[in-house]
Structure 1
Amino acid sequence: MAADRSRADTLRWMAQGTRTFFDALITLPDDRLARPTALDGWTGRHLLAHVAANADALVNLAHWARTGEETPMYSSPARRDADIEAGAARPAAELRAWAARAAETLEARLAELDERQWARQVRTAQGRHVPAEEIPWMRAREVMVHAVDLGAGVGFDDLPADFLAALIDDITAKRSGNGAGPALTLTATGHNGTWTVSGTGDPAPVTGTLAGLTAYLSGRRTDGVTGAEGRPAPELPHWL
């Protein structure tokens, strides 16, 4: 884990993100969940099914950490996609209940882990081997970002600043690791943070608020984020 991202931080962000997501969800009537979201091909129902299935998948990793029994997040990428499609077709009340129940179960399973179990290696859906301490960060990222994606009035600027800075750290490291996009130098206005992304070409300067940079790096709306001389910031490939 990043040196400035402790387990206490990630558990706190997971709890905050869960509250933010479900507080936003409760404001959406069932018919709104049937509408498209900004995520290509997904309605609100797909998004909610994904968040529910993600909690179930992370419960699998918590079980792996607690018992040492290898329990992958998903049996396969195809099964994951099929489960989201099937979940999106559930009655709205059942879908909401699944998401709430899965979130509560994940919180309970993580609370059972001891120090040795938190350190046990598990495997993410992308195939990375990480200590179980990464699980609450993985969940915090899901519920925080998807609270925005719900389209219920939550924006990146409503999320905690320390979480946004940590997420920028995470995304810039991933983008630098794959090297598929443009090289960037990022500067946050109203904050002392600067980041670099390794990639192709000379580094392009990009400026925006913490919230704006997080939206830009994660492939969401980029209001207020600018490139050199006020031009649009470079387009980026998918983050995950």
Structure 2
Amino acid sequence: MRRTFEDALVWSAAGTRLFSGAVAGWGEEQYRAPSSLPGWTRKHLVAHVAANADALGNLVRWAATGEETPMYSSAGQRAADIVAGAGKPAAELAAWLCESADRLAAGTAGLGPAQWNAMVVTAQGRTVPATEIVWLRSREVCVHAVDLAADVTFADLPIGFLVALADDIVVRRGDASGPAVVLAAADTGDRWELPGHGVATRVTGPLAEVAAYLAGRPHALTTAPELPAWL
């Protein structure tokens, strides 16, 4: 793994600033515009990111107290929170985004070394140390800052984050359910192999485009085969 806990802390803070900065000053018209995610307006996306901060805050409380606190109370809560948030007025949604991020930052700042090593369970059912919370948040705010369709691109994200994101996605795509692909980042020299069907397609391009491709986002890698969903 080519990322550290300290890296994730930096990326989480940077991604939060990038996401919040992208939506700063928006009114109803901007919030109601489509995001780049099919079927979601920007309101849906902002509500998702705000709800994610609250959900990760539950894991922080789990680590802090030892009391099992799942990210979501039920399988449908995540979707319900997004739908409810998408119906909020712009000012109320902006306040939720800011306040939830502040609550999460305050909660993580209060964890000690032993609490950071406590085991918690993600929404996908993975048991991980609490240190993973900041990586999950950095992934959320950085990738979704691009999904806002507000002139933020993968090229605007930290290089180290993009490498770590590609590493993470390749591990998750390791079930060989898609085509075999060998990816090379021409600008950094990094390389990844996706196991899969058939003879491996070799694809080379900028790191930002490689990361976008792996994440299932629009990219400029014209020879890259289509991949199944990432999450």
TM-score by length of 2: 0.97
Q: 1:161 is matched with which residue?
A: 159
Given that 2:26 and 2:90 are in contact with CA atoms closer than 8 Å, whether structure 1 keeps it comes out as: no
Q: Deviations over 1:1-22 (max 9, x none)?
A: x2x3111100000000001111
Whether 1:238 aligns to 2:222 is no
Contact 1:28 1:152 in 2 (8 A): no
| Mapped partners of 1:200, 1:77: distance in 2 | 32
- C-alpha displacement of 1:239: 0.6
1:165 is displaced (CA, Å) by 0.5
In the TM superposition, residue 29 of structure 1 has moved relative to its aligned partner by 3.4
Which of 184, 188, 193 is the matching residue for 1:187? 184
Q: Retained in 2: the 8 A contact 1:185–1:206?
A: yes
1:78 alignment counterpart:
76
Task: Give the Cα–Cα distance (whole angstroms) in 1 for the partners of residues 89 and 27 of structure 2.
Answer: 13
Matched residue, 1:55? 53
Return the offset for 1:183: 1.4
- Give, in whole Å, the separation in 2 of the partners of 1:226 and 1:9: 31
C-alpha deviations, 1:154-202, integer Å up to 9, x for none? 11001111110110000111001x3221111100011110011122222
For 1:144, the aligned partner's letter is: C
Match of 1:119 among 113, 117, 120: 117
Equivalences for 1:172-211 in 2 at 5 Å?
172-176=170-174, 178-211=175-208
The gaps in structure 1 that reach 5 residues or longer are 228-232
**Cα RMSD for the two superposed structures:** 1.0
Identity %: 54
Query: What amino acid is the match of 1:238?
Result: A
How many Å separate the matches in 2 of 1:226 and 1:48? Answer: 30
Deviation of the 1:27 alpha carbon: 5.1
Residue 77 of structure 1: SS of its match in structure 2?
Answer: coil
Give the aligned partner of residue 42 of structure 1. 40
Partner SS for 1:173: helix
Rounded Cα–Cα distance in structure 2 between residues aligned with 1:226 and 1:187: 14
Q: Secondary structure at the match of 2:183?
A: strand
Partner of 2:217: 220
Distance 1:202 1:119 in 2: 41
TM-score (norm 1): 0.94
* Alpha carbons 2:11, 2:161 under 8 Å: kept: yes
Which residue number in structure 1 is paired with residue 10 of structure 2?
12
Unpaired runs of 5+ residues, structure 2, are none
Report if aligned partners of 2:9, 2:134 keep a CA contact under 8 Å in 1.
yes
8 Å Cα contact 1:27-1:152 kept in structure 2:
no
1:207–1:226: 8 Å Cα contact kept in structure 2?
A: no
Aligned residues: 231
Tell me the distance in 2 between the aligned counterparts of 1:19 and 1:83: 23
